[in-house]
Amino acid sequence: MQQHYSRPLLFLALTVFLFNSRFLYGQVSTELAPQIEWPGFNEAFASAKDSKKIVLIDVWSSTCGWCKKQQTEVYTQPDLQKFLFDKFEIGRLNLDITDDTLSFRGYTLSSQMLAGGLGATGTPTTVFMEADGAYITRLQGFHAFEDFYDVLRFIGTESFRDMSFEEFMASEKK
């Protein structure tokens, strides 16, 4: 009878030990960073004027489920956030807003018009720009953490100036 209880207890003890040791030694981490408090478009470029960092503009909509998923599942990853804050100035444009006014490169536009001018035809769209407002590229749609982080590293390290994304990824695997 005692043998009948010893196997489940042994399994339970091993499970608890393995989980606790993985947690203690950092092999499992479920802690997310806080959600980003996004500055506006103009604030991002005002900061970039001094820092000379690349600007990342998050084009979003309040009704976009994929935007919410991007904010809660991707932008809350601690490594991604650290890299983002180190390498970029960040800002946001709400594609739904049509009655505001933003000044950019001598034009006065609504958030929706500016987002469209930057190539955002839907949300989410991530637009990368030089500190002086020159367009670099955009990434449309939701992208999982790993894929999105690869793009951030490609742009944030300024590797895009010297190589293709495929070359960058191949160099990362070495």
Predicted confidence at residue 129, as pLDDT, reads 98
**pLDDT digit string (tens) for 90-110?**
999 999 999 999 999 999 999
CB atoms within 10 A of CB 152: 22
Q: Is the pLDDT of residue 69 over 50?
A: yes
Q: Is the pLDDT of residue 25 over 90?
A: no
pTM: 0.81
| Dihedral of the alpha carbons of 146, 65, 111, 148, in degrees to the nearest 10 | 0
The predicted model gives 10-36 an average pLDDT of 51
Kind of pairing between the strands at 88-94 and 54-60: parallel
The domain ranges of the chain are: 1-30, 33-172
The predicted model gives 20-29 an average pLDDT of 39
Q: Which CATH superfamily is domain 33-172 in?
A: Glutaredoxin (3.40.30.10)
Q: How confident is the model at residue 39 (pLDDT cuts 50, 70, 90)?
A: very high
What is the share, in percent, of the chain residues with pLDDT greater than 70? Answer: 83
Q: How confident is the model at residue 30 (pLDDT cuts 50, 70, 90)?
A: low
Q: Is the pLDDT of residue 134 over 80?
A: yes
